[in-house]
Structure 1
């Protein structure tokens, strides 16, 4: 499988201020690498070779960190002249694509089987397929109602408790056909979730599937901290997990940890850090 991927990284991460005053949210460190690196690794794990990064806010930070590629994933950059919304950003970045492609948010962590997602997409003849995930508190999100065959019946934004009849939400990863871009008008911001997908639902050409596995939207201080714990505790598959100690600790080679210091897992000790005797981390 070698579908290209459009990676959306346009948000300013306002809920994570002041951490994001000078640093993009997706470039914040998550254990030993930027948050965005986990998205690149997930794509590469399933054979994706071409990534188009759609960004507007502080775009130079991404280019400086990743350049023309990350591992087996080659990268190019589509710099938005102004905020275009999710649909507008996809249309802007994918304008040269002529076949099926992934589009996904770059600030979420996930381990869904992309091969299975593409197989399902092709089996239904969908124009768009949405990766879905169940959540414990659906009231915080927009719900996606699907039929038995996966066809999306309706969307419900910020539901009242009495209206909740599913726990499935949009996980921010899609397989799209190029003709979907015809529904994205130029010259203004467009939301793919609120404008494009509902139109496809009217035609019965958008499907959704929940594939299980880990998912986390990293957008608040609480979820950012949880992401660190989950990486260090191997709650989902990451390249970091290969380097972790059996006690869920990761110590950079340039760090110094005195024998009299105490590390309480899960913990990461970064480059140049010095943990002296008597300290507890």
Structure 2
């Protein structure tokens, strides 16, 4: 984890009593630590902590984004998450055999999105090359990357905020999961298949079509201190492998 070492200035402000009470109610000691942090948090979320484009990679021939999970298709889960966090543009990179995505999502207007459909083609390509295919639609701002077979309860605004504060090129969403029972008491951190990235990522992608983010790109970023990890406590499921980890949030 990278620490927040940004400098801060002291200021004096006046604020309505009822607004201050609402601000105090948001302080949970974890995500929001105190009043100053609450003001900073909500200002940053409103003014800066947005990524308006998401790339959904659904290029695996053995998995369809129409697969049902908790009575909805996996794709619907993703689109609803993007809508809830103000994402405006979604790029769907689909395997050539995928037939249901456009029927489910249409032009995206139902979710407040503009959707661009891309096809991977017959040749299986790596996850890094998927970014290259979508590059001209991504633009010059921060963007999300989702592996479509993963469904997660994640606060994308807080994810972006963390990414900006670390000043990295890519941040990996991480889930904390218990190890098998034979090693009871131990634990491990795993990638949740969701990423926040800046456009500088393209400078690190090899030309080979089989290039992988995890194998060929992230190690280079890590060596330069440009790869971050964001722990989140929400539910996380790999629908393709039927593996789920429940929310770690205290109720």
Q: Under a length normalisation based on structure 1, what TM-score does the superposition of the two structures give? A: 0.63
Q: Which structure 1 segments of 5+ residues have no match?
A: 14-23, 140-160, 237-281
Aligned to 2:165: 123
Q: Would you say 1:211 and 2:232 are equivalent positions?
A: yes
Q: Of residues 196, 199, 208 in structure 2, which corresponds to 1:175?
A: 196
Paired residues of 2:172 and 2:192 also in contact (CA < 8 A) = yes
State the alpha-carbon separation in 2 of the partners of residues 184 and 68 from structure 1.
Answer: 30
1:1-281 mapped onto 2 (5 Å cutoff)? 1-13=50-62, 24-69=63-108, 70-81=110-121, 82-96=123-137, 97-137=139-179, 167-220=188-241, 222-223=242-243
State the alpha-carbon separation in 1 of the partners of residues 93 and 225 from structure 2.
Answer: 28
Q: Which structure 2 segments of 5+ residues have no match?
A: 1-49
CA change 1:3–1:165 in 2 (3 A) is farther
C-alpha displacement of 1:188: 1.7
- Matched pairs, number: 194
Q: 1:94 is paired with a residue of what secondary structure?
A: helix
C-alpha displacement of 1:187: 4.6
Paired residues of 1:54 and 1:90 also in contact (CA < 8 A) = no
State the alpha-carbon separation in 2 of the partners of residues 50 and 87 from structure 1.
Answer: 20
Q: Under a length normalisation based on structure 2, what TM-score does the superposition of the two structures give? A: 0.70
C-alpha displacement of 1:115: 0.6
C-alpha displacement of 1:209: 1.4
State the alpha-carbon separation in 2 of the partners of residues 182 and 55 from structure 1.
Answer: 24
Structure 1 ranges of 4+ moved more than 2 A: 29-33
Deviation string 1:114-138 (CA, Å, 9 cap, x unpaired) is: 1111001111111001110011238
CA change 1:94–1:137 in 2 (3 A) is farther
Deviation string 1:129-149 (CA, Å, 9 cap, x unpaired) is: 11100112389xxxxxxxxxx
